[in-house]
Amino acid sequence: MGKNVFIYTFGCQMNVHDSEKMLGVLSQGGYQNVTSPEEADLIIFNTCAIRAKAEQKFFSQLGRMKPLKRRNPNLQIAVGGCVAQETQKKIFSRAPYVDIVFGPQNINSLNQLLDQGRKLAVADNPGLAESEFDIVRDSSFRAWVAIMYGCNNYCSYCIVPYTRGREVSRPSDHIVEEIRDLHKLGYKEVTLLGQNVNSYRSDTDFPGLLEKIDATGIARVRFMTSHPRDMSRELVAALAGLPSVCEHIHLPMQSGSDRILSLMNRGYGFADYRDKIAMLRAEIPGIAVTGDIIVGFPGETDEDYQATLSAIQEIEYDGLFAFMYSKRQGTKASSLDSQVPESVKSERLNNLLKIQEQITENKNRCLENAELEILVEGPAENDPARLMGRSRANKIVSFADNGERAGEIIRIRVTRAHMHTLEGINLAINSHIV
Ligand code: SAH
Ligand code: SF4
Ligand code: F3S
Q: Is 51 in the pocket of ligand 3 (CB under 6 A)?
A: no
* Domain range enclosing 390: 371-426
Ligand 3 near 238 CB (within 6 A):
no
Give the whole-angstrom CA distance, residue 248 versus residue 289.
Answer: 6
Which residue positions in the chain have pLDDT lower than 50?
Answer: 434
What spacing in Å lies between the alpha carbon of 373 and ligand 1's midpoint?
A: 31
**Domain-located, residue 128:** no
Ligand 3 atom with least separation from CA of 195: 7
Q: What is the CATH number of the domain that holds 26?
A: 3.40.50.12160
| HSE, side-chain direction, 13 A CA sphere, residue 44 | 31
Among all bound ligands, the one having the nearest atom to the CA of 320 is 1
Cβ of residue 12 lying under 6 Å from some atom of ligand 3:
yes
In short, whether 251's Cβ falls inside 6 Å of ligand 3 is no
Assess if residue 298 is contained within a domain. yes
Q: Are residues 277 and 217 both part of a single domain? A: yes
Q: What is the pLDDT of residue 30?
A: 95
Check pocket membership of 158 for ligand 1, CB cut-off 6 A.
yes
Q: Are residues 341 and 298 in the same domain?
A: yes
User: Is 192 a member of any domain?
Assistant: yes
Residues 184 and 282 in one domain: yes
Q: Does 431 map to a domain?
A: no
Round to whole Å and give the CA distance between 322 and 309. Answer: 12
Asked whether residue 238 falls in the same domain as residue 345, the answer is yes
Among 323, 329, 346, 349, say which to mutate for ligand 1: greatest number of ligand atoms within 8 Å of CB.
323
- Residue 136 is assigned to a structural domain of this protein: no
For strands 422-426 and 148-149, give the pairing.
Answer: unpaired
Neighbours of 307 (CB within 10 A): 19
Task: Supply the CATH number for residue 414's domain.
Answer: 2.40.50
Rg (CA), the chain: 22
Q: Is 157 in the pocket of ligand 1 (CB under 6 A)?
A: yes
The domain tally of the chain equals 3
- 310 and 401 in one domain? no
Q: Is residue 126 part of a domain?
A: no
Choosing from 90, 121, 152, the residue where a domain stops is 121
Residue 434, domain member (yes or no): no
Which amino acid is residue 121, in one-letter code?
A: A
Q: 286 and 158, same structural domain? A: yes
Give me the residues paired with residue 148 across strands.
169
Asked whether the beta carbons of 102 and 113 are under 8 A apart, the reply is yes
Same domain, 293 and 194: yes
pTM of this structure:
0.95
Phi and psi at 426, nearest 5°, equal -70, 120
Question: In 3D, which of 290, 288, 190, 207 has the Cα closest to residue 242?
Answer: 207
What are the distances in angstroms from CA 210 to CA 180, 198, 235, 317, 331?
13, 10, 9, 24, 33
Q: Which ligand is in closest contact with the Cα of 12? A: 3
Question: Does 191 lie in the same domain as 296?
Answer: yes
Q: How many A from CA of 321 to the centre of ligand 1? A: 10
Residue 51: inside a domain: yes
pLDDT at 431: 66
The model's pLDDT over 405-428, given as tens digits with 9 standing for 90+, comes to: 999 999 999 999 998 899 999 999
